[in-house]
Chain A
Amino acid sequence: MKLTDQLSIARRNLKRQKGRTRLTLISIVIGSFAVICVLTITFTANKTINDYFEKTGLLYSIDVSSTGSNGINEAMVSKIAAIPGVQSVSPNIDMWFYESVKFGDNVANSFQSGAEAANGTTKQIIAFGRDLTEADTGATVLVSKDIANVLTDKNPESLINQQITLVTNSYYNGPDQKRENCDLQTMECKSVEITATVVGVNDGDRMILFPLQFGIDQSAVRSFGEIPTCQGFNDPNATCEDGTIIFSNNPIKDSGFYSLRIRAESSEVIPGIGEALTSQFNMRNQADLETDAGDYYFMVGQDLLKEALKAFRVVSLGLLAIGGISLLVSAIGVINTMLMATLERTREIGVMRAIGATNKDVKRIFTVEAALLGFMGGVWGLLFASAIIIGLGSRFGGSTDSLVSIDVPTLITSGLIPSSIVIVLTTVIGILSGVLPARRAAKLDPVESLRYE
């Protein structure tokens, strides 16, 4: 008996019991739909996270941090830059003292601001305008697209070359702070507004980025004290103006940077750089829990990626288990359907045996039927999942506010297409579920079958 004929018979038999076939199919569709959705999310997210790490250079980065007692001074930065395999280094400055940013009537409140060297250590994905360069030293900024959207009512490109206003919080004691703004008892000051020119909009996440030199300058700390008269005042570490002593220091210049990012030439040289950091600077790898804490520690971007993916994998496995249970339930449905079919078609099986069907032919007819159920369930599951995922992807994906944007083509190529393997899975489940009923059908005695009422 030819396979095409077996398929044709199987299709006709399934059509005979439309209601039951549909119900069984629904159970397989639910199972395959769940698994396809989970796999699509997992595959797409994995691809997107990997792409993000690759694009931003995080895949080749090592972040060094000081534990507090000693900063990373210029000499150390130079030594680290000289380690074989290091492409570039950039100190990072956290400019925590900006509370809000304004442009016209629009205000954005929740963001991070910082400064780093514009030497490609962290790759900026520029959406509009340009990246910061080493020639930028003053109040020029790179604004993330989400912040730019808020400031411009979703016209981020219009922010290029415009001046935005950064408003400091009450703890700002930087170079732009003035004596008259501050309460000398509580040491709290009024907000100061600092203007900066936007040179570019990037794909960052709620971030405003300044040139490194501006960050160093803004990190200077001024503190004020009262004095009856400046006459005769002589302290090399302070100045006196109108009865106020102004103490000024710059912790970065004095002690060094709190953190630093290293960009390696390739992923292969990262272990060597890690070893050099450990041996030359007594640093410990954050991932190495057994080593005692030194003055510095470092984190390898690849390890972060692995950790991120590991956490994601656990969630995915949990979701897959739920999808798997749905498929198991649908497999039981297929077994039930096929056992019922065996019972109902006992006499028919007898006739088939009488007109020449072998045990194998009977077994194959039932197996092909079960496989067809699994296959169709998988195909429908994929169609439903595609419709919903693409629909949701079109509605919410590729958002301009999101750092990790997932667009529809990525969903299809990275998620749905690899997930279509589920059709093979449901077909195999169909075949396996059909084994027992098919074997039972094949074992039926032809004479008894012909007598079956």
Chain B
Amino acid sequence: MTEVLTQAQLADISLVGVSRIYELGDEKIHALRDLSLEIRQGEFVAIKGPSGSGKSTLANVIGGLDTPNEGKIVVGGLDFSKAKDKELSHYRSKTIGFVFQSFNLQSHSTVLENVLLPLVIAGIDKTTRMARAKECLELMGLLDRADQPTNKLSGGQRQRVSIARALANWPQIIIADEPTGNLDQTNGQIVIDLLTKLNRELNITLILITHDADVAKKAPRILEIVDGHVTDRMSA
């Protein structure tokens, strides 16, 4: 835990006038419309909205996976519009941790190999990465499953592996896109508790994408997206 905290630096998120338009044939779909917002380091923000409202698009542009058509995104001083592929990849590697609804684990690989992958990509040496991967698995209570293939795990366990993977490179921000979407209520609750714990204890910014109002309520701040427009409000 201490190690993660010492690695953390301020990674405030700033979006100014961001628009993302998809073209489907002749039709133009405005996923995000002139969106501006600020998220401070260590915040827990839920992004809520119906399907197709632009929640995932917002997560993707903040995560540097998608490029807006207009507007400016700056995270931890990195201006995305000026960043090259290498800088954005480094940002995704070191600053961001993604947690996906469908886990996106390598099913043929073991739990440990999945958690090691971001560390391998980041070029971390073997000894350090092994220690770090085991540390992350221990945090998620999965160290005893390290050598199991992920396809032998339950949905809840897989999502915890996914969180361990997201945590591997000491990120300052975790973007969780519908992390409970494929889980039952009990496992969903466990995952949300783990994520909020990471936010609370490690000061990791948590951006939680969900269409579930009850899940969103766990966050102190909720961004509601409808047709690409955002309403920013504090949770009741």
Contacts and interface: CB of A to CB of B under 8 A. Distances in A.
Interface of A: 1-2, 5, 9, 12, 16, 347-348, 350-361, 446-447, 450
B165 to A, nearest CB: 7
Contact of A9 (B86, B120, B123): B120
Contacts of B182: none
Given A353-B92, A446-B65, A447-B60, 20 more contacts: A1-B122, A2-B120, A2-B123, A351-B100, A351-B104, A351-B106, A352-B121, A353-B65, A355-B93, A355-B98, A355-B121, A356-B118, A356-B169, A357-B121, A359-B85, A359-B89, A360-B86, A361-B121, A446-B66, A450-B104
Nearest to A15: B108
Contacts of B65: 353-354, 446-447, 450
B158 interface: no
Interface string B71-101: 0000000000000011001101110001010
A180 B39 CA distance: 128
Contacts of A351: 100, 104, 106
Top 6 A-B residue pairs of the complex, sorted by shortest distance between their CB atoms: A356-B93, A358-B89, A355-B118, A351-B104, A446-B65, A354-B98
B42 interface: no
Contacts of B123: 1-2, 5
A347 B100 CA distance: 12
Contacts of B94: 356
B179 interface: no
Contacts of B120: 1-2, 5, 9
B117 interface: yes
Nearest to B56: A447
A356 B169 CA distance: 10
B63 interface: yes
Interface string B104-115: 101011000000
Contacts of A354: 63, 65, 92, 98, 104
A356 B106 CA distance: 16
Contacts of B118: 355-356
* Max chain B Cβ within 10 angstroms of own Cβ: one of A1, A347, A446: A446
Contacts of B100: 351, 450
B121 A1 contact: yes
A362 to B, nearest CB: 10
Given A5-B120, A450-B104, A358 B86 contact: yes
B66 A356 contact: no
Nearest to A351: B104
Nearest to A2: B123
A2 B124 CA distance: 9
B152 to A, nearest CB: 17
A193 B65 CA distance: 99
Contacts of B85: 358-359
Interface string B42-79: 00000000000000000010010110000000000000
B165 A355 contact: yes
Q: Is the interface of A mostly helix, strand, loop or mixed?
A: helix
B171 to A, nearest CB: 10
A11 to B, nearest CB: 13
Contacts of B108: 16
B60 to A, nearest CB: 5
Given A1-B123, A450-B100, A450-B104, A355 B66 contact: no
Contacts of A353: 65, 89, 92
Interface in B118-139: 118, 120-123
16 contacts: A5-B123, A9-B120, A16-B108, A348-B106, A351-B100, A353-B92, A355-B92, A355-B118, A356-B121, A356-B122, A356-B169, A357-B121, A358-B86, A360-B86, A446-B66, A447-B65
Contacts of B60: 447
Contacts of B89: 353, 356-359, 361
* Max chain B Cβ within 10 angstroms of own Cβ: one of A348, A351, A352: A351
Nearest to B57: A447
A357 B85 CA distance: 10
B117 A355 contact: yes
A9 B63 CA distance: 25
Nearest to A354: B98
Given A355-B98, A355-B117, A356-B118, A447 B93 contact: no
A446 B93 CA distance: 14
A121 B85 CA distance: 75
A194 B31 CA distance: 109
Nearest to A5: B120
A214 B85 CA distance: 90
A357 B119 CA distance: 10
Contacts of B63: 354
Contacts of B93: 355-357
B90 A347 contact: no
Nearest to A4: B126
Contacts of A450: 65, 100, 104
Contacts of A355: 92-93, 98, 117-118, 121, 165, 169
A449 to B, nearest CB: 9
A309 B118 CA distance: 58
A360 B104 CA distance: 21
Contacts of A357: 89, 93, 121
Contacts of A446: 65-66
A359 B121 CA distance: 12
A262 B93 CA distance: 79
A350 B102 CA distance: 13
Nearest to B89: A358
Contacts of A350: 104
* Max chain B Cβ within 10 angstroms of own Cβ: one of A5, A348, A352: A5
A351 to B, nearest CB: 5
A1 B106 CA distance: 18
Contacts of A356: 89-90, 92-94, 118, 121-122, 169
A5 B123 CA distance: 8
